[in-house]
Structure 1
Amino acid sequence: MKNFFAKYNNIITYILISFFLLFIASSFRHILFNSHAFDLGIFDNGIYLISQGKNPYVSFRELHILGDHAAWILYFIAPFYFLFPSVYWLFFIQSLASAIALIPIWKLSKLNNLSDSKAKTICLIYILYPLIFNVNLFDFHPEVITLPLFFIAILAVKLDKIIWFIVSILLILGCKAVLALNVVMMGVWLILIYRKKNYGAFAIFSGIFWFIIATQLIIPAFSGEEAAAVSRYAFLGDSVSEIALNLIIKPQIILSHLFTLANAEYLLLLFLPVIPVLAWQEIPNLIPAIPTLFLNLLTEYQPQKDLVHQYSLPIIPFLIFTIIASLAHHKTWFYQNTKIRIWSLILFLALAKYVYFFPNGLYLKNLHTWKASNEAISLINTSKSVFTAPQFAPHLTHRLTLDLAIDSIDYNQVNKFHYVLLNLDNPTGYSSQEDIKNLINFLEKNREFQLKYNQDNIFLFEKIK
């Protein structure tokens, strides 16, 4: 341990500050009832059920947790829930993964003969990249765990540590099925650019193998349908195989979806924070990021074209490595540490969503119902079934059955639940206030339910028959 602190003394402070800020921000967002059933509730519910030795069937998602993205890494998180079931484990793991990526970033910088001050600057570029902060706010996603893993995989190649590389790649594949495409292209990159045939061959083979197994066997078997994101590319087909075929035989469709104003804005957002430190000669280092970039450009689904959601995460490790190579081998537009750090800070201040915590910000808009929401939730003191609003779901997912008051509400289904917790003040965008008001009227007239709590437009009903 002493050797570790001595070796990475220069960035220990960065790691600790980053971790605590990310953990506090994501936890505070959750405490303020701004986390969501999609996606925090899904993962929390699935992992909790695994930890209890139960079938991890997420009732409000209507599928087994493996039917979502074949993310078997979630089974590795379950032991923490067995010790103490808490959603805060997910915030802890996500924040820690983002922060400890600084260790391999530092090591890669030093292997490229960069000075300590330049290596620190690269660490700051990474931690101030707006997506790192923003994605930690947006619930929990297992692909955040791949941030240090991708860097470790690159480092393993540089140090010729084949076991490190294999373990890193296997863990990456376990975080999300689509990451197999990045792993395949990482293999191509290692063979073409760095002549690392053994490493590249393993990445290509394992990536192709897992992508086929996950998309054609595991996800359909556990969900009864194609992978969830397939619908975002419906103009190319209704299945992964059909989409893959049409990508080859219908290039005209692809081009019409790539060259759009929305994509130009996305590329500007993605590269603006780092453009002054990129050398065009090092752009081939972005080859492993091509699948993510291509999928994000191809779809019309807006969350895949911003720096808020998780969809651009696989680009980050290779973007940072490209920066390392650029600063090590070329005179970039910005080369002085002070200029680079100021630029990174300016772009962080401009694009990071810390402003959501400001007075009148997005995360404080429910503050007037915060006390009532907590009181109502505290009255749900059993693990019986709950029907509730999406923002309450992550606070109630440690149970077998939970469903959401969204879309077209089936009153017959509502009758099957023991508790119904509703937010008339802010029903979220999935349901209107009129929908929730009608449901409340129905429950008030229903002899099977009694109103247990009503304050500040927060309603809790409990079944009495």
Structure 2
Amino acid sequence: MPSLVHPSRRPFVILSVLYTAVLFSSTAFQHFLLGSQVWDLGIFEQFNWLIANGGINQASSLRNITPLQDHFSLLLLPIALVYKLSPNAYTLLGLQSLALGCMPALASDLCLRKGVSRPLTWALALAIVLSPYSFLVNRGDFHPDVLTLPLMLLAIRETDQPRRWLYYPCLLLTLFAKNAQALFGVGLSLYALAKGQRGRAGITLAISLAWWFIATEMSSAGGDHVGIRLGYLGNNKLEIITTLITRPWTVFREAPPDSILLYTLGLSLPFLALLGRRSWPALLGCTPIYLTNIISASSIQRELNHHYSIGILAFLIGGCIDALSQSQPPSMQRARNILTATLMLATASFIGYGRVSYFTSRYLPRLQEARDFQQAKQVIQPTDSVLTIANYAAHLAGRQQIEQLEKPGYGPVDQYDWIVLPAPDIPINIGGKLKRVDRSKIAGTVARIRRQAEHSGMTCQSANRSIVLCAKS
């Protein structure tokens, strides 16, 4: 029986399988060690649970809006079908790991189809594997737009191809991840224009802008994200543009130059040796996303563990393929030098940005608490309502009613079937640091909720050393 994978591609497929395993193992282990938060993993799990159980028009108790009112992510519909087969957060993390993990094999296949030499193809594959952004964006969190990374790269590569059957479906599926994916569409239209594809550029721009206006209107209940993040530049879009043109230095009030530099280096360093003069259309394509991130008042848009730069990663990989598939390939010695330089740069970026040490400083110290939590939650049924802290909510979000006690408005405590609290003397993650509960900012809230629960007739007792459970009598 012939192999399904061509022998020339087999090493890269094996690399992708191993990379996917590493990605999933690291994010699953971090999640098990209570290293994920309700924003956004817990929220997206509840969205998927609602859709999978026929509640697409029902408001999420964690977000107070319906699933599609959060960025109008139509991609949640097929994701929820997969989630229904295995309803837990690990399913979402697995899908995301698979999307990121397939990138070395996909990029390598595109390179080999373009006639790129094997050393340079290996260089790009290893740059992707060692990219700290690919590693961090998957750790303990989930976002639908990350799942579209392979589709974004395919759309980029199909831009100058005469066929349309692959380009436009990839573009549409990418846009369907969220309204802000229109920025990728605008960037793709710039890329097409730079490639001389004026007609395709115009159609892509029209589709992307139409999606932006439709999706933004449909998700208006989720809040004005543009106003929240760019409001310091002006009260409306015209004032924002005017400020950027006349007083661009205003941006540095919210985004210091050093943070912009570190952000840019973290994204691009693994790929620097692979970029060339033919990469400029792809670099032009990533400017709408890049500029939006660096001018945002929300600093998380310039952090490598968030999803806001996933489109930039697609354009960087596409730019590398453009540069490597030049008409006159470099000599074998120069190709090996590029491979060596890429390995050095990518390794340095991973060591500097990868945050591997977080496992020993933030996550592994909570191993016993994680075990105790998993044991304690066994008595909680999927139909039960729960009040708990944000860390635990990320593990209990697959239900209709769950609230986090850090958020005001959770109401009377006796309306819940279960209240899950940490014991006073265990360390939990507060603002990136481990602090004992009784010495943290939530100490008063935890103690007050337990008193209210006991006063209302609920039974509160230690399930084990780390977890306190309050249940209706």
Structure-to-structure mapping, 1:186-335, within 5 angstroms: 186-191=188-193, 193-215=194-216, 217-220=217-220, 222-223=221-222, 225-227=223-225, 230-237=227-234, 242-243=236-237, 246-248=240-242, 251-258=245-252, 260-279=257-276, 282-329=279-326, 335=337
Q: State the number of aligned residues.
A: 452
Mapped contact 1:121–1:340 kept (Cα < 8 A): yes
Contact 1:276 1:334 in 2 (8 A): no
Whether the aligned pair in 1 keeps the contact of 2:461 and 2:470 (CA below 8 Å) is yes
- For the residue of structure 2 that corresponds to 1:113, the secondary structure is coil
Q: Alignment partner of 1:435: what SS?
A: helix
3-state SS of paired residue (2:456): coil
1:414 aligns with 2:413: yes
How far 1:98 moved relative to its partner? Answer: 0.6
Give how far 1:401 is off.
Answer: 0.8
Counterpart in 1 of 2:15?
Answer: 14
Structure 1 ranges of 4+ moved more than 6 A: 330-334
CA positional deviation for 1:18: 0.8
Using a 3 Å threshold, how does the CA distance of structure 1 residues 60 and 114 change in structure 2: closer, same or farther? Answer: same
Superposed, 1:77-96 pairs within 5 Å as: 77-96=79-98
Work out whether residues 137 and 307 of structure 2, in 8 Å CA contact, stay in contact via their aligned partners in 1: yes
Task: Using the TM superposition, give the Cα deviation of residue 334 of structure 1 relative to its aligned residue in structure 2, in angstroms.
Answer: 8.7
Identify the range of structure 1 (179-188 vs 250-259) with the bigger mean alpha-carbon deviation: 250-259
Q: Which residue identity lines up with residue 289 of structure 1 in the other structure?
A: C
Residue 113 to residue 68, structure 1, CA distance change in 2 (3 Å): same
Name the CA shift for 1:245/1:106 in 2 (closer, same or farther; >3 Å). farther
Equivalence map 1:62-461=2 (5 Å): 62-191=64-193, 193-215=194-216, 217-220=217-220, 222-223=221-222, 225-227=223-225, 230-237=227-234, 242-243=236-237, 246-248=240-242, 251-258=245-252, 260-279=257-276, 282-329=279-326, 335-358=337-360, 361-408=361-408, 412-423=411-422, 424=424, 425-426=426-427, 428-429=429-430, 431-444=441-454, 446-461=455-470
Report the secondary structure of 1:162's partner residue.
coil
Q: In the alignment, residue 458 of structure 1 is paired with which amino acid? A: I
Of 315-324 and 35-44, the range deviating more from structure 2: 315-324
Matched residues in 2 for 1:435 and 1:79: separation? 37
Query: Cα distance, 1:285 vs. partner?
Result: 1.9
Matched, 1:462 2:435: no
* C-alpha separation in 2, matches of 1:417 and 1:171: 39
Cα distance change of structure 1 residues 75 and 376 upon mapping to structure 2, 3 Å threshold? same
8 Å Cα contact 1:453-1:459 kept in structure 2: yes
Q: Which consecutive residues of structure 2, in runs of 5 or more, have no partner in the other structure?
A: 432-440
Asked if 2 retains the 8 angstrom alpha-carbon contact of 1:186 and 1:287, the reply is no
Kept in 2: contact 1:37–1:390 (CA 8 A): yes
- Contact conserved, 1:263 with 1:297, CA < 8 A, in 2? yes
**1:305 shift after superposition:** 1.5
Residue aligning to 2:41: 40
- 1:267: Cα distance to partner? 2.3
**Change in CA separation of 1:249 and 1:301 when aligned onto 2, cut-off 3 Å:** closer
1:59 CA displacement: 0.7
Give distance in 2, aligned partners of 1:290 and 1:379: 50
> CA, structure 1 residues 101+158, in 2 after alignment: closer, same or farther (shift >3 Å)?
farther
Gaps of 5+ in 1: none
Q: Which amino acid aligns with 2:241?
A: L
Question: Does the CA-based 8 Å contact 1:292-1:312 persist in structure 2?
Answer: yes
CA offsets, 1:7-62, max 9 Å, x none?
62231111101111111111111111111111111111111111111235211111
How far apart are 1:288 and its partner, in Å? 1.8
Identity %: 24
Mapped partners of 1:426, 1:338: distance in 2: 43
Residue of structure 1 equivalent to 2:438: none
- Normalising to structure 2: TM-score of the pair? 0.88
The answer to whether 1:28 aligns with 2:29 is: yes
Amino acid of the residue matched to residue 265 of structure 2?
L
C-alpha displacement of 1:295:
1.2
Contact 2:458 2:470 (8 Å CA) reproduced: yes
Instruction: Output the CA distance in 2 between the equivalents of 1:233 and 1:429.
Output: 27
Q: Report the secondary structure of 1:451's partner residue.
A: strand
For residue 165 of structure 2, give the secondary structure of its aligned residue in structure 1: helix
* In 2: Cα distance, 1:16 partner to 1:250 partner: 45
8 Å contact from structure 2 (residues 233, 243) kept in 1: no
Q: What is the RMSD of the two structures over their aligned residues, measured on CA atoms?
A: 2.5
Change in 2 beyond 3 A, CA 1:313/1:268: same
Letter in 2 for 1:169: L
Deviation at 1:321, TM superposition (A): 1.9
Query: Could you tell me which amino acid in structure 2 is paired with residue 252 of structure 1?
Result: T
Q: Which position in structure 1 is the counterpart of 2:435?
A: none
* CA positional deviation for 1:335: 4.1
